[in-house]
Amino acid sequence: MKKTLLSVAAATVFTSVPVLVHAEDANPLSFNVSLTTDYRYRGISQSRLKPALQAGADYALPNGFYVGTWGSTIRWIKDAGTIVGVDTGSAPVEIDFYGGYKGEIQKDFTYDIGLLQYWYPGNHLANIAKNANTLEIYGALTYGPVTVKYSHSLTPLFGAVTSAGDSKGSGYLDVSASFDAGSGFTIAPHIGHQKVKNWSDGSYTDYSLTVSKDAAGFTWSAAVVGTDAKHDPNAVFAYPSPSGKNLGRNGLVLAVKKTF
């Protein structure tokens, strides 16, 4: 193949970028742990369509600044070596570090800007492409229940590179919302578009609809997730598993999360 095929790393129902509370309203330090039937990042499975364990911590300062970390078990880096035939390392986990500032423009209208570093300890993806570790800058506007966000990669996107060049400067634009449906239920629709620089076949749109409920001290959720990630009539997918399954296919993702 002319292009190096790498599964774009990284949301499941629980995204690695935090949903923060104002420090004056609650304890500024919070932790979360979750179990999901499939770790989907921007619609693409990072866990080979299998379960993943995830956890994170956030600290929000009273002045609007925040920092945090989040991690998940993954399989895609080890699988990349299986697909391409060289040693890409094991890298069984993804660990994210982020920091930023969240402020209010007016009532019910807020903004959020920050940096997010994706780290894959033990990855050797530079053996065939670029290092999988990726730095993104992001900005978001939220009005009422709706959030519009743009993320821009300052390094090659999760190691992706083709004969046309690397993927530094790739962008992801998404729109999401969260609606209180009563009785503890929340409905969250989402649509996003990942543009991978110098790899048009790797660009795609993802979508999801999540229903969640707080019960017994946990958040339980079910999400229908899918993408239009490209594949040809012979089922050669842009994001395949080692066995040839489409990692961006439509699916149902179940999850349970505890925040404390």
Whether the Cβ atoms of residue 82 and residue 52 lie closer than 8 Å to each other:
no
| Measured CA distances, 71 to 32, 34, 42, 117 (Å) | 10, 10, 16, 11
The pTM assigned to this predicted structure is 0.89
At residue 121, the pLDDT reads 96
pLDDT of the chain, 260 residues: tens digit per residue: 333 334 333 333 444 444 444 444 568 999 999 999 999 999 999 999 999 999 999 999 999 999 999 999 999 999 988 777 788 888 999 999 999 999 999 999 999 999 999 999 999 988 888 999 999 999 999 999 999 999 999 999 999 999 899 999 999 999 999 999 999 999 999 999 999 999 999 999 999 999 999 999 999 999 999 999 987 656 578 999 999 899 999 999 999 999 99
User: Which residues make Cβ contacts (< 8 Å) with residue 117, sequence separation at least 6?
Assistant: 96, 97, 98, 133, 134, 135, 136
At residue 234, the pLDDT reads 63
| Measured CA distances, 108 to 19, 144, 145, 205 (Å) | 15, 5, 9, 28
At residue 231, the pLDDT reads 72
At residue 20, the pLDDT reads 44
At residue 82, the pLDDT reads 79
H/E run at residue 256:
strand 251-259
At residue 169, the pLDDT reads 98
CATH homologous superfamily of 29-259 equals: monomeric porin ompg (2.40.160.40)
